[in-house]
Amino acid sequence: MNAYEARQIAAGLSFETKAFIGGKFIAAQSGGVFPTVNPGTGQQIAEVSACEAADIDAAVRVARARFESGAWSRAAPKHRKAVLLRFADLIERDSTELAVMESLDSGKALNDALNIDLPDLIETIRWHAETADKIYDSVPPVPSDIVSLITREPIGVVGAVLPWNFPLYLAGWKIAPALASGNSIILKPAEQTALTTLRLARLAAEAGIPDGVLNVVPGYGETAGQALGRHRDVDCVSFTGSTEIGRMFLKYAAESNLKRVVLECGGKSPAIVMPDVTDLPAVAEQIALGALFCQGENCSAGSRLILHKSLEKPFMEELLAAFAEWRVGDPLEETTRIGAMIDENHMARVLSYISAGQREGAALALGGERVLPESGGYFVAPTIFTGVTNSMKIGREEIFGPVLSVMTFEDTDEAIRLANDTDYGLASSIYTNNLDTAHYAAKRLRAGTVSINCFSEGDTGAPFGGFKQSGFGGREKGLAAHDQYTQIKTTWIKLKA
């Protein structure tokens, strides 16, 4: 799609801006609203209902009533599958419009929204839809006068708190397994990016998901998010976002009903380049992809390059060339690969990390500044620091922007030690031509995903989640995603003699 076509679609968009509760779009009970801004221009797109505790309570009551009615929770698995497949078809029908809306609302490159996020969302819903009638219960070996059934039941009412970096795609990670398992769900989108989630709600209703089974309640984290986390009639909260806020959801659960909490939080993922690597340009392209995809606003971004000293000069030349291919620009332009930071505050945060890196003695090899200020948008140039150590702020903390920290090593064990010297453990990668080295590293890297000779998060069928402070409580994607939205019941039947 060219920029002219994208702008034509953008000009014709209409936006859902009210909460979706019980099958209806309704204003927040307080009447409050908040602005949603296009990060690429700094201009307001719309005003969205600012829901609070009363609205969350209304959504939970509707979701609980619908769950207890059995209209979805006890529906035949084949029926749930058919409805979810229809839901995916409707998303595919409207995917171009949804992609433009996602780009406007989040600042990401339209090419990413159109060619990555939307196809992955559609695949995710279809994949989990197909599991609805394929996850079997079991019968354990017991004495002959006993019949014992081990059954998997939906957990009940699920709260899903979404991030702003992948609003549609990560909504699918939660919607699909939760609904396929028979739950009711309440989505709390990030206040920066509520528009596409609200549009999904309309498509869900059109697909035939019963009123009250899927609800969307926009609002601020400290009001709507906290109310969802503390609600005593919510059975599970699945949160994707920062580790700092993830801790708060654990507190909310502890202080309320001990609801199940699933956290997918931050990362500071390493990419190790071993001295036996020969195709330096190809590896450099993968490092650039890992660091710059989605403007670096990606929890599993490969933001730390751990490079063998013998490759430092030749590899850095290739890396600079690879970074040069990542053009920053208007998210709707075809040639743009790096869009805008989500908002002005986040841009300032990223720039503050760049300043900290310079103060602490790292060498700025590329970028380091705001660009395209005349657009009114929030753009940061692709940035590389060399001479970084894990004691530096840019080496330890998640920046969530297009900033790569480069450090060097002399032997494999040192590389693994540097890679593991972090509070996080979401993803990692190693580049080597030696199979023994690959397996050795894969077993010792403390991360939920280890990629070898690529930057990858797997596919829909592969579980995704982290170690340490990157999260716990379950896994997104794959069959494992159903575990967090279901609970196991044992039925014990004594037979008559």
CA distance 111 to 2: 10
CA distance 314 to 333: 32
Which CATH code for domain 3-265+471-489? 3.40.605.10
Average pLDDT over residues 266-294: 98
Domain ranges of the chain: 3-265+471-489, 270-459
Q: Looking up tokens 């970096």, which residue turns up?
A: 165
8 Å CB contact between 49 and 19: yes
- The 10s digit of each residue's pLDDT in 356-406 is 999 999 999 999 999 999 999 999 999 999 999 999 999 999 999 999 999
Is residue 265 among the annotated active site residues? no
Is residue 317 among the annotated active site residues? no
Domain 270-459 - what CATH class?
A: alpha beta
Token pair of 366, please? Answer: 């590329």
CA distances from 384 to 16, 320, 401, 402, 422 (A): 40, 9, 11, 9, 20
Average pLDDT over residues 484-489: 97
- The 10s digit of each residue's pLDDT in 136-181 is 999 999 999 999 999 999 999 999 999 999 999 999 999 999 999 9
For the chain, percent of residues with pLDDT exceeding 70? 100
- The 10s digit of each residue's pLDDT in 41-52 is 999 999 999 999
Q: Which of 16, 52, 264, 476 is catalytic?
A: 264
CA pseudo-torsion sign 353, 359, 363, 367: positive
Return the pLDDT at 200: 98
The answer to whether residue 497 scores a pLDDT higher than 80 is no
| CB-side neighbour CA atoms (13 Å) of 221 | 17
Return the pLDDT at 457: 87
CA distance 184 to 154: 9
Please name the amino acid found at residue 238.
S
- The 10s digit of each residue's pLDDT in 12-22 is 999 999 999 99
Other Cβ atoms closer than 10 A to 154: 23
The answer to whether residue 215 scores a pLDDT higher than 80 is yes
Return the pLDDT at 48: 98
Q: Which of 52, 236, 299, 398 is catalytic?
A: 299
The model carries a pTM of 0.96
